[in-house]
Amino acid sequence: MGTLTAISRVQGGKLTAKRELRVAAVFKDAPAAMLDMIVVHELAHLKEREHNKPFYALCQHMLADYHQIEFDTRVWLGWRAQQTVG
């Protein structure tokens, strides 16, 4: 199994200076749980700027299975990348 370096560069969501949430187009067909995870991730950035222990604790507080959905999202992105290549 190869390494997909481009996947780590995809931003799921982005919170703008105006506090608008923008979700990457790659997620237009994503399962709702993945969109929930992206929203929770960006909301957590309102309180914790860095990806540190308090940040992930807050994410998990807002969405109990946050870590599993984040993992599933990475797998899904890898699968989508494979679909576009082959």
Please give the structure tokens belonging to residue 9. Answer: 């560069």
Give the orientation angle of helix 53-62 with respect to helix 66-85, to 10 degrees: 90
Residue 68: which of 42, 32, 33, 23 has the closest Cα? Answer: 33
Distance from the Cα of residue 25 to its chain's centroid: 12
Share of residues in the chain with pLDDT > 90 (%)? 57
C-alpha span between 16 and 39 (Å, rounded)? 13
Residue 35 reports pLDDT greater than 60 = yes
pLDDT of residue 63: 98
Residues 54-69: what's their mean pLDDT?
98
Residue whose pair of structure tokens reads 């709702």 in the numeric block: 32
Residues whose CB falls within 8 Å of the CB of residue 33, separated by 6 or more in sequence, listed in order: 69, 72
For 65, which DSSP code? T
